[in-house]
């Protein structure tokens, strides 16, 4: 549990911090009443331990101020005057309890525990859930009588869940509650503590889903008697299911609206950037920093509503950093600057595109193959911080199966593979290059040999020697290969077959293409000008204007001469094909056609264009 200690006596601070920490509490310490107000009104605490005699603002006035502003955190007053008036004043000011100095430390910690119980849904001194028992006094945990040895953070997590046992805790909330306000742990850190806690619980005989996950929402205690349906918080209801058509229409609407919203977001970002520049020059005032915080906060909401998750995550990191009670140092401001440039890039290249109900919305995927365990963990943590997610596969064969035997794989933005056995790797590279064309693939090796570099490049990969590189550096190099391919190419499909037009977006979107369909060739020029596609798929036979004519129109316009044009037709005869190539087609395909193959042919043309 998280406690704010407001006390100016260093000896007492040392003693209280030590004993409260030994009880698994996270303690923030401030030494005067004004700082006390700033911390208590900014961060989230489970209890405040407050001395009465304090510089700047005394404890009783602070207590009144907090209660007056609506803060309900339990307050324990420390007083050296054993006099009834002071006690009455303190309790009237809204304190929940008091202890008189000199006090017995055991009594103080017991009173803190009692206050914590008041704010909890679990009013008993022993916390339990099913067969799990946690004793906050001795800090012992057991499952069905079997003792569990937990690290501090694992214990803290469990206590947090048990104290509010019907709640779903999001990653952010867990960070707010269990880490000191000076720490900014990555969400992956929370996940790895949870993973280990779950593992220990399971080893002691608890069901594997003792701590459940609601994707995108958070974690909660599950139990057969306490099904998730009984959860009470308004945010915890499982998501209703919407029809595919509703989702698609909603997504299309988000995309449209985003076009107008994007410039506004970029403008807000520029305003934050101006304040960050001042922070770097140390000419910024605290109210300006607060303004930047509010803007970042707004941005988190907007990006989130437009389901731009990776951008939202970066904005959230920025918001968290800006939400300080003191001015940021130039070093911290440098971090902000990095977030800003990532955010500019992210907003520039991404648009609302993922399926709304996807469990990991919007995150670009890195596929890690045969990377050693330690590096996987640190790469995953770094990737997570930067808004990427990872899938780790231990062998080339597994990667082969994932990419090629799976009918609809989630294609990675980048593949990272370790060069161990060169023969199987080269075969894999060749295969990837042949079948996925422009798939970025980075081969890592701790040896630096020209012959390795050559072999990798010849097979379509990129080579990075990892000797003397930190994981962060490896990650930075790796993602620098991504920008060209994470932009979602826009493909316009013109066809008078309405059934085909309805299915084609569904077929091609999983392959990272953004589709605009058009049934009426009369509207062709207007739609083309507004969509500005990166590639065009044309039917040949259409009423009034046929595809060949449209192709000729495009090829005679200097702006569209290089646009990749693919014909897709039911006619398989060689005369039609010949005609198509004569008028400037880049490719000719016959219906019926699978989504994957069509997507690959389109991407192939785009890749050619990039390298030409």
**Which parts of this chain interact with other proteins (CB under 8 A)?**
43-45, 70-73, 172-173, 176-177, 234-235, 237, 239-240, 242, 246-247, 249-250, 253-254, 257-258, 260-261, 264, 294, 297-298, 300-307, 309, 312, 316, 319, 356
Q: How far is the CB of 146 from other proteins (least distance, A)?
A: 32
Residue 178 CB, shortest distance to other proteins, in Å, is 12
Cβ–Cβ < 8 Å for 33, 56 = yes
Distance, C-alpha 363 to centroid of its chain: 7
User: Measured between alpha carbons, how far is 586 from 602 in angstroms, rounded to an integer?
Assistant: 10
478 contacts 375 by C-beta, under 8 angstroms: no
Q: Which 3 state secondary structure label does DSSP give 365?
A: strand
Tokens at 104, concatenated: 């017995």
Length of the chain: 612
Nearest residue (CB) to other proteins, 92 versus 249: 249
Closest to other proteins by CB, 182 vs 499, is 182
Residue placing its CB nearer to other proteins in the complex, 245 or 331:
245
Instruction: Please say which residue, 72 or 83, places its beta carbon nearer to other proteins.
Output: 72
Find tokens 């008028």 and name the residue. 583
Q: Least separation, in Å, of the C-beta of 179 and other proteins?
A: 13
Smallest distance from other proteins to CB 351, Å: 13
Shortest distance in whole angstroms from residue 320 CB to other proteins: 9
Query: Tokens at residue 203, please?
Result: 């080893």
C-beta of 322 vs 491, nearer to other proteins: 322
CB of 253 to other proteins, least distance (A): 5
For residue 176, the minimal CB distance to other proteins (Å) is 5
With contact defined as beta carbons under 8 Å apart, do 508 and 491 qualify? yes
Residue closer to other proteins (CB basis): 307 or 439: 307
**Strand 140-143 and strand 146-148: pairing?**
antiparallel
Q: Is the peptide bond before 540 cis (omega within 30 degrees of 0)?
A: no
Beta bridge partners of 220: 212
Q: Provide long-range contacts, Cβ within 8 A and 24+ apart, for 185-190.
A: 186/381, 186/384, 186/385, 187/384, 188/380, 188/381, 188/384, 188/385, 189/381
CB atoms within 10 A of CB 350: 24
* Shortest distance, position 107 Cβ to other proteins, whole Å: 27
Nearer to other proteins, 312 or 371 (CB): 312
CB 509 within 8 A of CB 533: no
Cβ 592 to other proteins, closest distance in Å?
32
Q: Which is nearer to other proteins, 98 or 258 (CB)?
A: 258
Query: Kind of pairing, strands 514-518 and 364-369?
Result: unpaired
Alpha helices, DSSP H, located in 392-449? 396-400, 422-436
* 88 phi and psi angles, rounded to 5 deg: -65, -45
Q: Are 600 and 411 in contact (CB under 8 A)?
A: no
């Amino acid at each position: 549990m998280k406690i704010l200690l407001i006390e100016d006596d260093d000896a007492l601070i040392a003693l209280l911090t030590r004993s409260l920490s030994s009880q698994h509490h996270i303690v923030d310490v401030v030494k005067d009443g004004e700082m006390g107000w700033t911390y208590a009104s900014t961060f989230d605490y489970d209890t405040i331990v407050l001395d009465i005699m304090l510089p700047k603002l005394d404890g009783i006035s602070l207590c009144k101020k907090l209660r007056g502003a609506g803060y309900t955190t339990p307050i324990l007053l420390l007083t050296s005057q054993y006099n009834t008036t002071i006690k009455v004043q303190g309790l009237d000011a809204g304190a929940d309890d008091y202890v008189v100095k000199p006090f017995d430390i055991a009594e103080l910690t017991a009173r803190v525990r009692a206050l914590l119980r008041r704010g909890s849904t679990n009013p008993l001194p022993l916390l339990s859930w099913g067969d799990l028992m946690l004793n906050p006094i001795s800090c012992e945990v057991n499952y069905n009588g079997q003792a569990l040895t937990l690290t501090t953070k694992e214990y803290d997590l469990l206590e947090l869940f048990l104290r509010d046992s019907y709640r779903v805790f999001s990653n952010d909330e867990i960070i707010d509650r269990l880490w000191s306000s000076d720490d900014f742990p990555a969400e992956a850190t929370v996940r790895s503590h949870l993973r280990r806690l779950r593992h220990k619980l399971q080893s002691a005989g608890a069901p594997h889903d003792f701590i459940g996950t609601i994707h995108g929402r958070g974690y909660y205690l599950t139990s057969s008697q306490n099904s998730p349906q009984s959860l009470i918080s308004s945010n915890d209801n499982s998501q209703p299911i919407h029809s595919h058509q509703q989702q698609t229409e909603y997504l299309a609407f988000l995309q449209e609206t985003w076009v107008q919203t994007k410039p506004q977001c970029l403008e807000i970002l520029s305003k934050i950037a101006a304040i960050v520049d001042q922070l770097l020059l140390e000419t910024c005032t605290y109210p300006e920093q607060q303004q930047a915080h509010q803007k970042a906060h707004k941005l988190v909401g907007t990006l989130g509503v437009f389901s731009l998750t990776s951008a939202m995550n970066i904005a959230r990191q920025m918001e968290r950093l800006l939400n300080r009670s003191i001015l940021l140092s130039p070093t911290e401001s440098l971090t902000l600057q990095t977030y800003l440039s990532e955010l500019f890039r992210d907003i520039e290249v991404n648009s609302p595109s993922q399926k709304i109900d996807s469990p990991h919305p919007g995150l670009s995927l890195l596929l890690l193959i045969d990377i050693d365990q330690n590096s996987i963990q640190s790469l995953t943590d770094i990737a997570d911080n930067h808004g990427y997610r990872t899938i780790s596969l231990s062998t080339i064969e597994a990667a082969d199966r994932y990419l090629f035997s799976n009918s609809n794989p989630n294609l990675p933005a980048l593949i990272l593979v370790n060069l161990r056995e060169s023969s199987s790797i080269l075969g894999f590279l060749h295969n990837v290059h042949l079948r996925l064309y422009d798939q970025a693939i980075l081969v890592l090796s701790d040896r630096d040999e020209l012959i390795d570099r050559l072999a990798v490049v010849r097979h379509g990969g990129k080579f990075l020697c990892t000797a003397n590189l930190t994981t962060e550096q490896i990650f930075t190099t790796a993602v620098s290969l991504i920008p060209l391919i994470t932009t979602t190419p826009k493909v316009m499909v013109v066809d008078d077959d309405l059934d085909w037009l309805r299915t084609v977006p569904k077929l091609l979107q999983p392959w990272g293409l953004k589709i605009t369909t058009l049934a009426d060739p009369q509207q062709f020029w207007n739609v083309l000008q507004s969509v500005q596609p990166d590639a065009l798929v044309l039917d040949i036979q259409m009423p009034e204007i046929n595809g060949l004519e449209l192709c000729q129109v495009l090829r005679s316009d200097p702006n569209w001469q290089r646009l990749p044009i693919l014909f897709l037709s039911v006619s398989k005869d060689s005369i039609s094909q010949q005609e198509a190539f004569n008028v400037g087609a880049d490719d000719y395909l016959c219906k019926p056609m699978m989504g994957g193959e069509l997507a690959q042919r389109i991407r192939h043309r785009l890749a050619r264009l990039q390298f030409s």
